[in-house]
Amino acid sequence: MADRHPSEPTPDEQGPGGVSSDPLAYSATPGTAPRGVVGAAHSAAMPGTSALRSTTPDAARDGRGSDDTPKDACGVFGVWAPGEDVAKLAYYGLFALQHRGQEAAGIAVSDFSNVIVYKDLGLVAQVFDESTLASLTGSLAVGHTRYSTTGSCTYENAQPSFKQIRGGRGSVALGHNGNLTNTSELSREVAENGLGDDMGATTDSDLITTMLAANPDLSLEEAAVGVLPRLRGAFSLVFMDENTLYATRDRNGVRPLVLGRLERGWVVASETAALDIVGASFVREVEPGEVLAIDADGIRSAHFAAPEPKGCIFEYVYLARPDTTISGRGVHATRVEIGRRLAHEAPVEADLVIPTPESGTPAAIGYAQGSGIPYGQGLVKNAYVGRTFIQPSQTIRQLGIRLKLNPLRDVIRGKRLIVVDDSIVRGNTQRALVRMLRESGALEVHVRIASPPVRWPCFYGIDFATRAELVASGLDVEGVRRSIGADTLAYISLDGLIAASEQPRSRLCTACFTGDYPIALPEEARLGKHLLEDLVRAPDRTPAVDVSGAASGDPGPVSVPPADPVAHEGLETPPERAGARAGYLNTLPSWGAVGALDRP
């Protein structure tokens, strides 16, 4: 039997998934942030408590075992539906988005009087059970499933992030998909204005929440249109106060966010697949640079920045579910078309086309269609083992490869195989896979990849590691082929990938393939997963720039647009900033109704 941390419940005290079945099980641990349920506006939901009993070992809570990869993917969900069980709608929405993050999950609900947040480390089904969801009553909710962005994998960094508005005028709960590139600048601003707290969170998402809650003289709508233009990088946000649900995307729309309609309300989610699972009909995408407000008066829309679309092309390759639609193009159809194009770009004689399940399956189907070579299943996936790309440590990744795939030896033996996968990042999966197929009797193993070589780290919300960890950053195609042990290796061309997506090249971010970053990166090496923790330990030290990107994650020389002057106002005092904010609000378009969507 594995050792149990003293703060963990015994097996008899645990509910399904090893999580405490009693959402009101507390321990009085002084000096710790509350676990599970965190504060409520006006009156605490469960007063007189200091901390929920931990159900997560110290290693996970401290982030030990996680690597130094700077970025990731998350899933966000929001619902405004009085009369509906919004907590369960959020739960099932997050369940549909579980593939976007597997380290932590949380839901915030409001009954128009109080905002309550319940969150913890673990999968959605581990964090929530029936009794927990029954205690989360309200009319609107936001949910989040996380793979650690800025900040370690700790309970304090789980989302939704929660802040009470200064002056006691309500509260804000927020979920964030993406990653900011001016986190260091915002952290200094928050500290200089005395806006920080002692809750222990070290994420860019927490900074955004703090800034939204900073001014008691502004409504949350006014605060949003003042704060959002100052954020740099990628952000798709859902946030709420006691009465209103908000949804917004950065001006480049790097991460997806969609609006859906229920019979008695509205839903926003990272992917259309989450709308499907809760019975919501797709309305439209939230536009880049747009913020929506949803309350009893209907839907209002405003733009805080002119849209400059640069959607992440890797959503089509891997991140999004195949049953999701992005910018009018189905992800599954895109992946099948990638396979067809790859068959024409990189033909090879073989007996069977097999996928690396599940992410390589649509492209393998397309490759078989394009080549005329039979398609077959050569690998069986254990559906209950997490994605190796998403799991946080290198050791777990390598173990996960062996756990999640098993060869069908009778199918493989004596065959020349074409193995289709979505991408090669570090090369661990393909290396182990090729060896396993050869040991199972394959005569030849030809690897085909449904994306171009990943040579550059992502700073906008994907776990792509540093350049030193990207196998294609230091090797050409032949070098990668030798590294993984394949007979031949070929990638889809960038032109072929873009054509399969049916999106204009000008509206896509391809930085991980080209190094052409569409959003300016800071000149100093103020980037990386543990940036805010490093600033706490050494606030006056600026890390040296590593032009190779090998240590810090800095991409080295890149092509970026000029910095936006709004981010460098040089306003030193709160009155100056307040004046600038008021002036900026006057320049923004007024909130307006969204046509026929005005009432649920």
The tens digit of pLDDT for each residue in 240-264 reads: 999 999 999 999 999 999 999 999 9
Give me the sheet containing 140-146, strands edge to edge: 36-38, 115-121, 104-110, 140-146, 75-80, 265-269, 258-262, 281-285
What are the φ and ψ backbone dihedral angles of 40, each rounded to 5 degrees?
Answer: -135, 155
Give dist(CA 394, CA 428) in Å, integer: 9
Amino acid at 387: R
Q: In which residue are the tokens 């927990």 written?
A: 132
Catalytic residues: 74
Q: Report yes or no: 93 and 79 within 8 Å, Cβ to Cβ.
A: yes
Amino acid at 220: L
Reduce the DSSP state of residue 137 to 3 states and report it.
Answer: coil
Nearest to 511 by CA among 76, 100, 181: 181
What's the pLDDT at 575? 44
Residue 399's Cα: distance from chain center in Å? Answer: 23
Instruction: For residue 588, name the pLDDT band (cuts at 50, 70, 90).
Output: very low
336: its two tokens: 């099948």
What's the pLDDT at 553? 34
The tens digit of pLDDT for each residue in 258-304 reads: 999 999 999 999 999 999 999 999 999 999 999 999 999 999 999 99
What's the pLDDT at 587? 39
Q: Report yes or no: 421 and 447 within 8 Å, Cβ to Cβ.
A: yes
Q: Report yes or no: 565 and 230 within 8 Å, Cβ to Cβ.
A: no
Could you tell me the CA-to-CA distances from 181 to 185, 319, 479 in Å, in that order?
A: 9, 21, 32
Is pLDDT of 130 > 60? Answer: yes
Nearest to 255 by CA among 272, 267, 237: 237
According to the per-residue pLDDT averaged within each range, which of 376-380, 521-525, 590-594 is highest? 376-380
Is pLDDT of 30 > 70? Answer: no
Give dist(CA 74, CA 179) in Å, integer: 10
What's the pLDDT at 156? 82
What's the pLDDT at 62? 35
What are the φ and ψ backbone dihedral angles of 144, each rounded to 5 degrees?
Answer: -150, 140
The tens digit of pLDDT for each residue in 186-242 reads: 988 888 888 776 556 778 899 999 999 999 999 999 999 999 999 999 999 999 999
Kindly state the percentage of the chain with pLDDT values over 90.
Answer: 59
Q: How far apart are the first and last CA of the chain?
A: 53
Non-local (6+) Cβ contacts of 533 within 8 A are 151, 152, 202
**DSSP summary character for residue 319:** I
Q: For the ranges 236-250, 317-331, 366-380, 537-551, which has the lowest average pLDDT?
A: 537-551
The tens digit of pLDDT for each residue in 527-567 reads: 554 444 444 444 444 433 333 333 323 333 333 333 333 33
What's the pLDDT at 43? 29
Q: What structural domains does the chain harbor?
A: 38-44+58-309 (3.60.20.10), 324-501 (3.40.50.2020)
The tens digit of pLDDT for each residue in 51-77 reads: 232 233 333 333 333 333 323 479 999
Nearest to 588 by CA among 307, 305, 252: 305
Q: In which residue are the tokens 């959002």 written?
A: 228
What are the φ and ψ backbone dihedral angles of 281, each rounded to 5 degrees?
Answer: -90, 140
Q: Report yes or no: 492 and 352 within 8 Å, Cβ to Cβ.
A: no
